[in-house]
Amino acid sequence: MIQATSITKVYGIGTIEIRALNGIDFNVKQGEFVAIQGPSGCGKSTLLNVLSCIDKPTSGTISIDSIDIAHLSDKALAKIRRDKIGFIFQSYNLIPTLNALENVMLPMMFAGKDNNKTSERAATLLEMVEMQERMKHKPSELSGGEQQRVAIARALSNDPLLIVGDEPTGNLDSKTGAAVMKILTELNREGRTVVVVTHDPAVAGTAHRVLQMKDGQFINNQSEQEEQT
């Protein structure tokens, strides 16, 4: 599903260069659940942004579902992001003026899908995450856990092959976080590939592999991790 080789990401501030990613090699098989851990500022979120086609690497090669994305145009990246990747944000990023149903419908509308079908699918997804009674509620009327459930439903709206989460339980209490992780685990069992950044040991314990990052690199041997799975 993911093949990344020698990925770097360099940010320039005046004459200073900051290497957020420093030669990352990263492979994820279809159907895997991979957790990435590490201290703040080590490059975890930058890596997710590159994997999710939100940002481009400075150098290196990366493919998602056998498509080389490293040097695609912004328009082509947006299409891959829309069709193949579901991103779950720590801060939910729901549109405050839209209700839960409309938030889940939005990616499908951007994809040009029929409005009646998008409404039906959004309702089905919200029912899957047990939010069927809150479809007409706006984000300000929902708890953090409920907003994250809506965000998960939205991430699934275009039936992505890859689900990416940046601290998906980071703003939730332990009980609500466990409920969110149950949903992600079930999606993984259905064949979805899941990659999450997390500080939560319970989330890491759910993953097939846990990789540690420091200073823009993985510090544990990925091949050894693969042999253990």
- In whole angstroms, what is the distance from residue 136 CA to residue 71 CA? 41
Q: Which two tokens stand for residue 131?
A: 């939010």
The total number of residues written for the chain in this structure: 229
C-alpha pair distances (Å), 47 with each of 163, 172, 217: 14, 23, 10
136, pLDDT greater than 80: yes
14, pLDDT greater than 60: yes
DSSP count for the chain of H helices, then E strands: 8, 10
**Strand, coil or helix: 84:** helix
pTM, rounded to two decimals: 0.85
162, pLDDT greater than 90: yes
End-to-end CA distance of the chain: 17
C-alpha pair distances (Å), 103 with each of 86, 112, 153, 184, 203: 14, 15, 9, 19, 26
- Give 37-69 pLDDT, tens digit per residue: 999 889 999 999 999 988 889 999 999 988 888
141, pLDDT greater than 90: yes
- Give 87-128 pLDDT, tens digit per residue: 998 889 999 999 999 999 999 998 888 878 899 999 999 998
Q: How confident is the model at residue 224 (pLDDT cuts 50, 70, 90)?
A: very low
226, pLDDT greater than 50: no
Task: Count the alpha carbons within 13 Å of 168 in the hemisphere toward its beta carbon.
Answer: 33
2-228, what's its fold? Rossmann fold (3.40.50)
70, pLDDT greater than 90: no
The pairs formed by 172-177 with CB atoms below 8 angstroms and a separation of 24 or more are: 172/144, 172/145, 172/148, 173/145, 174/202, 176/143, 176/144, 176/145, 176/148, 177/202, 177/203
**Cα-Cα-Cα-Cα dihedral of 133, 165, 36, 59, to 10°?**
180
In the sheet that holds 193-197, the strands lie side by side as 85-88, 162-166, 193-197, 33-37, 209-214, 217-218
What pLDDT does residue 153 have? 93
Question: Which residues on adjacent β-strands are paired with residue 17?
Answer: 12
What pLDDT does residue 21 have? 95
**Strand, coil or helix: 162:** strand
